[in-house]
Every structure is written in structure tokens, then in C-alpha cells.
Amino acid sequence: MRPGLLTFKVHRPLEIPLPESCLATVIGESLGRCDTVATLASLLTEPISAVHIFRREALPPEQGPDPVLEELRSAVCALRLPMDSQSPWIADVIVGEHGEPLMVGRHRKGLPAHPCPGALPELTLPAHAPSRAWLKMRQSLAWLELGEAELKGRSALELGSAPGGASLALLEMGMQVIGVDSAAMHPQLLSHPQFTHLRQSAGAVGPKDLPMRVDLLCCDMNLHPGVSLRYCRKLCRLLQPRWIIFTLKINDDAVASEMEDWLDSLRSWAPSEVHARTLPANRREITVVSSMADL
């Protein structure tokens, strides 16, 4: 109905859990609209454990903290809302253009939802990052709630690692990273003691080049999902990762319409439940994650 927001009318009791879509960033049940946050409480008939306030169209992360959202967050803190840390519900307050009513909804916490408002951890792309994939990786790690405490000392393999933004984000978490790409890596990656570059195609990488296991398998190759998933499947079987983070490219409309089929094929061999969403840093691609911690 507005850029970044799609609503559907349902003429029967709402099906819970709501249907998923890999093309959505946040999926929730609409509770109504309000002109100011002061009337938010009247829309919340059940307790919530948190309020997520985010823009209908995310601002570029380069702009840093968003004063409009900051002001709304302070106003919400001052309200008496039905808060209960045990509640499975998170309220969503979606902010549009100036003068547009706030759209209020709710979603269930936990995977497949992202834990940050609008799936957007408050991060600014550092000037030294070799590519925007740094942001994409940080948004994906935040989705799996993985930080330095979980990742330090663990290993990662990234297929399609050049020039190196995503691998840098993993190195900054204290991981050992192997990057596979026939293109050149940025010099700051090549000089990093925890980084190894395999300058070859992912299709040519085999057991002789790799450790027995890796903790995290990542894929960011600009290939058709059918090809990248074939490589990922082989390496997933070999390396038995605990976590996977893949971006699947939507190079044309045919790929977009087949995406659910590609996800079903991925679900048949992934180590655990697979979740797919479009994160704010994704362009014509989706992000897919899977975590053994789900078991």
C-alpha cells in the first residue's frame, strides 16, 4: 500500500503463525493506526515483551542514528504499556513520512523474526570496510544473535568473499576465516593473520583445501541459486557447519518466482530449520540462515 509496506485483508480468523515470505523483512499482524504514540496503549490488548519502532523505508545506515526514531523511543518509554518479559509478542510501530499515521502491529519473537527493530541493528558501515557486505553480514549475525561471545575462536568459510566486507566482519568477531573467490581480496584481508584466501572457484574447492569442519558456512556468490546451492550442499555435507548464512541472488524474475522451490531444496539438506528474509542491506537478493541452536 506504500513503499516498503504491504497489507492484506483477511476475511476469516487470522492464521497463526502467519505465512512467511522470503521477500519480506518483518511480517506481522496489523493492530491499527495511531496519530501519536500516546494512543499506542489503546491498540495493545495483550501484553508485549518489547516495542520495535522502525521506518517503513529504512534510511541509509551511513546517516547514523535517526533523531525521529530516537524521539519516538523516548516517548514510548514514558508510556504505561502492558509489558511482560514472558510475552511471546513484540509490538511493531512503523514510521512513514511526516504526517502519516503510525502503523501498529505485532509479531512473535524468536526465529524466523529478526530480534532488531525492522531487522536493523544500529550499525554504521565503517569507512575501512572493503564492501557493503560488511553490513549484510552484521545484520545476518544479529539475526542469529551471534556476537563475539559465540564466535570468538570459531571458524568460518565464505564462498564469494572478494573484496572482503563480510569476511572482515567475521574476523572482527575473532573468527578464523577462509575466503574462496577467484577475484582479488582487499589487502587488509590478505594481511590479516586469521584470514586465508583460496583464490579459486568454489566448485573446485575440496577436502584437501579445507579443515575437517567449520562452524559457519557463508555464501555470497553472484551466481544462479541452483549453482551456488549445489556448491553449498557439497561443502555443507563435508564440513557439517553449526550455522549457515547464504545470500541467494535474484538475478531475474524467473529466479524470484522459483525462490520458494530453491528454499525447499535447501531445506532438504540444511543442518537445521531454514529461515529466509530480505534484510535491509539486501538489494536483489535474499538472506537465508540456519542454526543448529534451534534443535
To ligand SAM, the closest distance from the beta carbon of 139 in angstroms equals 13
To ligand SAM, the closest distance from the beta carbon of 198 in angstroms equals 9
Backbone phi, then psi, for 52, in 5-degree steps? -100, 120
**C-alpha closest to that of 222 among 176, 183, 277:** 183
Backbone phi, then psi, for 131, in 5-degree steps? -160, 165
Amino acid code (one letter) for 281: A
The one among 66, 92, 181, 215 contacting ligand SAM by CB under 6 A: 181
Between 131 and 287, name the residue whose CB sits nearer to ligand SAM. 131
The one among 42, 74, 222, 257 contacting ligand SAM by CB under 6 A: 222
Between 111 and 281, name the residue whose CB sits nearer to ligand SAM. 281
Containing 137, the helix (H) or strand (E) segment is helix 133-143
Considering the rule CB under 6 A, would residue 223 count as an interface residue with ligand SAM?
yes
**C-alpha closest to that of 284 among 241, 257, 251, 235:** 251
Between 111 and 218, name the residue whose CB sits nearer to ligand SAM. 218
Between 40 and 202, name the residue whose CB sits nearer to ligand SAM. 202
C-alpha cell read off for 138: 552484521
To ligand SAM, the closest distance from the beta carbon of 86 in angstroms equals 39
The interface region with ligand SAM, picked from 90-98, 149-157, 179-187, 236-244 by CB under 6 A, is 179-187
The answer to whether 197 touches 190, Cβ cutoff 8 Å, is yes
Percentage helix, strand, coil, to 5, in the chain?
30, 20, 45
To ligand SAM, the closest distance from the beta carbon of 209 in angstroms equals 12
**What is d(CA 139, CA 58) in angstroms, rounded to the nearest whole number?**
13
Considering the rule CB under 6 A, would residue 281 count as an interface residue with ligand SAM?
no
Backbone phi, then psi, for 256, in 5-degree steps? -60, -45
Binding mask 98-137 for ligand SAM (x = CB under 6 A): --------------------------------xx-x----
The one among 1, 14, 183, 212 contacting ligand SAM by CB under 6 A: 183
Total of chain residues touching ligand SAM, rule CB under 6 A: 23
**What is d(CA 272, CA 73) in angstroms, rounded to the nearest whole number?**
36
To ligand SAM, the closest distance from the beta carbon of 146 in angstroms equals 17
Amino acid code (one letter) for 278: T
Pairing of strands 274-277, 285-291: antiparallel
**C-alpha closest to that of 284 among 226, 225, 229, 230:** 225
Instruction: Scan residues 135-174 and list those touching ligand SAM (CB under 6 A).
Output: 159-167
The answer to whether 22 touches 286, Cβ cutoff 8 Å, is yes
Between 21 and 201, name the residue whose CB sits nearer to ligand SAM. 201
Considering the rule CB under 6 A, would residue 180 count as an interface residue with ligand SAM?
yes
Note the residues at the interface with ligand SAM (CB under 6 A): 130-131, 133, 159-167, 180-183, 201-203, 220-223
